[in-house]
Structure 1
């Protein structure tokens, strides 16, 4: 793996560990100022989403780092592209139309996929 992959994947992983941890440990009231959509989904689904984000971040880092199942890294990044595509749909169907962060995360995950699959 090269420096560019570790930089991009590391930043993406840090974001998702942070965001996922917030979704797992904070209450709806604490999340509402940052995430206006939290009232639209059940609490167990919110907790599961946070867990998926943490596991995906782990999938970006551990397989290339250990050399065990390296194809899981681009698979995790593809999962983040799909996750953010769904997030955009949730934002656009609700009253919250702010999708700039989601588009940026899709672009970052796509860059991670490209970097992970380069020879």
Structure 2
């Protein structure tokens, strides 16, 4: 199970590193022009940068503490942060009636939830 948790955490880290990096490096207008990113119109540029920074920090928090064996309790906390971030994303998409995006958010919630459960529980 430990290997499965590492794989899930690695996949989440890659996904959120890419997504957060895009939000940090691209303008609001460029993000809004991307497919499935129309929701960015509802947020200020600073809020988009904050969301991107949280995603990048969570990606680092999923891997680095356990890999370096420095405060490994940060791994489930980073995963919990992603759960909360994705709940907020699902609410945003629900308000905009973007049902397909909600399904993607739910998948991320479940995956991050498995990491929270595994790293706080039997495989900490």
How far did 1:46 drift? 0.2
Task: Quote the residue 1:55 is aligned against.
Answer: 57
In structure 2, the gaps of 5 or more residues are none
Quote the Cα distance in structure 2 between the aligned partners of 1:86 and 1:110.
15
Structure-2 residue corresponding to 1:9: 9
2:73 aligns with 71
Q: Are the aligned partners of 1:37 and 1:96 in contact in 2 as well (CA < 8 Å)? A: no
CA–CA distance in structure 2, aligned partners of residues 8 and 96 of structure 1: 25
Bigger shift: 95-104 or 8-17? 95-104
Note the residue ranges of structure 1 that are not aligned, 5 or more in a row.
none
1:1-119 alignment runs, 5 A limit? 2-32=2-32, 33-98=35-100, 99-117=102-120, 118-119=122-123
| Segments of 4+ moved more than 3 angstroms | none
Q: Displacement of 1:95 after TM fit?
A: 4.2
